[in-house]
């Protein structure tokens, strides 16, 4: 099977150039001027051709919470968002803390046959923070990383052992950083707006303490660590200085942390409730700076779909999380590239090349021999976010009604068109 992507602008993490892309047997066969040979052609004139986007932090909810999302709806949403690969967190039911659940997720994803789905295994059994999970067997079954996402591994000795075992099997720990005792039931950022609304606040320190602890472990043990969803200015600073010392730390943030502040919680809209919470303007700015100077390595969604009944309750009772895989590219492009904060190449680095590199996944580039995982976007197309039209079952977004620019036109996985917008 051959396919040509004709007349587009190829954008990699390093450069942008006009070129056609020839796909043969699921792989990129060549990049350059390619003559028509009667095979199918995608007309990419006026469009940008990117390496397939990779979201290394999503929640697909299967097994156990299929009312919120399942592997099929989540994969459909992912390809509609331009993602050719996602990595799914283990806070399912049962928790993905063993090889059987890892294999189940991989098999379901294969049947669904849309994007690549890479399971993340739990660090501890049941994400309970007490005993290490079956790390080696999960790796054998195809887990690409470890995390107790949703919570921190509060016992530092267990975390140390988790990092050591993970590294023994060539895996990284992805750390959800929140000191559980300090959060103490907080539902929003502790500050002016928590006082104004009367909602219980959670200090920046709850996040910063765990970021600092996990970096201290990585530094002492000379092991890699990855910090999930950075939201505070102070965490950005801790990571920046650790990197300057040569600590093997990488970090991610999400569109909501560089687009919104906790001013939006004054609406009491439960779609603004997320963990870690939305912070203040100085945090939003620092997270943006972190993306600009390489302190933060990638943009993930933390796509956290929830059902209406989990969200249409009073703020204190609502589930934490924002659904966002279908608008992540547009939000990031609109907020960062359109406003001149970063280049389109830098965005490709943050959303494709770096996640691939951090987890050792194939992809993140457009080069001969690589699988033809490609995202084609129309950067001039503007539209209004409407979650009712999403493939995801999770309509929980604070971005409904927002005007954004950057539309996904095609998502190709292994050379096959999995989404056409
Ligand atoms: O807001 C969040 N939702 N943060 C998390 O860490 C977990 C996630 C979820 O699973 O809903
Ligand atoms: Zn998390
Ligand atoms: Zn998460």
Instruction: Write down the domain spans for the chain.
Output: 52-365+381-404
Q: Point out which residues pair with 175 in neighbouring strands.
A: 227
Of 149, 302, 310, 373, catalytic: 302
175: Cβ below 6 Å to ligand 1? Answer: no
CB-proximal residues (5 Å) to ion ligand 2: 149, 176
Which residues neighbour 249 within 8 Å (Cβ) at sequence distance 6 or greater?
215, 218, 224, 225, 226, 227, 239, 242, 243
The closest residue, in CA terms, to atom 3 on ligand 1 is 321
92: Cβ below 6 Å to ligand 1? Answer: no
Which residues in the chain land under pLDDT 70?
none
Distance CA 21, CA 24 (A): 10
Place of tokens 């409904």: 400
Place of tokens 């389109």: 344
Place of tokens 């939003």: 284
User: Do residues 254 and 324 make contact, with C-beta atoms less than 8 angstroms apart?
Assistant: yes
Task: Give the rounded percent of residues in the chain with a pLDDT score beyond 90.
Answer: 99
Annotated catalytic, 36? no
Among the atoms of ligand 1, which is closest to the Cα of residue 59? 10
149: Cβ below 6 Å to ligand 1? Answer: yes
Distance CA 301, CA 319 (A): 17
* 113-124 CB burial, b ≥16 within 10 A, e <16: ebbbbbbbbbbb
Q: What is the three-state SS of 227-280?
A: ECCCCCHHHHHHHHHHHHCCCCEEEEECHHHHHCCHHHHHHCCHHHCCCCCCCC
pLDDT at 202: 98
Among the atoms of ligand 1, which is closest to the Cα of residue 322? 1
Distance CA 2, CA 35 (A): 12
pLDDT at 1: 86
- CATH code for the structural domain at 52-365+381-404: 3.20.20.140
278: Cβ below 6 Å to ligand 1? Answer: no
Among the atoms of ligand 1, which is closest to the Cα of residue 319? 11
Which residue out of 60, 62, 91 has the highest number of ligand 1 atoms within 8 Å of its CB and is therefore the one to mutate?
91
pLDDT at 387: 98
pLDDT at 407: 98
The crossing angle, in degrees rounded to 10, of helices 204-221 and 233-244 is: 10
């Amino acid at each position: 099977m051959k396919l040509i992507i004709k007349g587009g602008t190829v954008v990699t993490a390093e450069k942008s150039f006009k070129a056609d892309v020839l796909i043969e047997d699921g792989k990129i066969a060549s990049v350059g001027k390619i003559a028509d040979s009667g095979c199918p052609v995608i007309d990419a004139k006026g469009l940008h051709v990117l390496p397939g986007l990779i979201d290394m932090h999503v929640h697909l909810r299967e097994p156990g919470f299929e009312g919120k999302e399942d592997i099929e709806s989540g994969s459909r949403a992912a390809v509609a968002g331009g993602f050719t690969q996602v990595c799914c967190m283990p806070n399912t039911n049962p928790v993905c803390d063993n090889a059987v659940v890892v294999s189940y997720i991989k098999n379901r994803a294969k049947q669904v046959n849309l994007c690549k789905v890479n399971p993340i295994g739990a660090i501890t059994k049941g994400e309970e923070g007490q005993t290490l999970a079956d790390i080696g067997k999960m790796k054998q079954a195809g887990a690409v990383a470890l995390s107790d996402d949703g919570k921190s591994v509060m016992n530092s000795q267990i975390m140390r052992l988790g990092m050591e075992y993970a590294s023994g099997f060539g895996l990284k720990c992805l750390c959800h950083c929140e000191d559980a005792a300090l959060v103490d039931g907080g539902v929003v950022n502790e500050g002016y707006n928590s006082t104004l609304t009367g909602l219980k606040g959670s200090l920046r320190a709850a996040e910063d303490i765990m970021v600092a602890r996990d970096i201290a472990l990585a530094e002492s043990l000379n092991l890699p660590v990855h910090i999930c969803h950075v939201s505070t200015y102070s965490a950005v600073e801790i990571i920046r200085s650790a990197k300057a010392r040569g600590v093997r730390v990488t970090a991610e943030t999400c569109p909501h942390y560089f687009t919104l502040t906790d001013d939006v919680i004054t609406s009491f809209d439960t779609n603004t409730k997320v963990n870690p919470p939305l912070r203040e303007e100085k945090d939003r700015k620092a997270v943006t700076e972190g993306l600009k100077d390489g302190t933060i390595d990638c943009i993930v969604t933390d796509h956290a779909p929830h059902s209406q009944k989990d969200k249409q309750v009073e703020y204190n009772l609502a589930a934490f999380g924002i659904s966002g895989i279908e608008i992540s590219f547009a939000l990031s492009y609109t907020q960062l590239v359109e406003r001149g904060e970063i280049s389109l190449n830098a965005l490709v680095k943050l959303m494709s090349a770096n996640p691939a590199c951090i987890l050792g996944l194939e992809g993140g580039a457009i080069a001969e021999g690589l699988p033809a995982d490609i995202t084609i976007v129309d950067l001039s197309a503007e539209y209004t976010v409407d979650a009712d039209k999403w493939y995801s079952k999770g309509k929980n977004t604070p971005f409904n009604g927002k005007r954004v620019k950057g539309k996904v036109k095609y998502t190709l996985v292994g050379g096959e068109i999995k989404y056409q917008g």
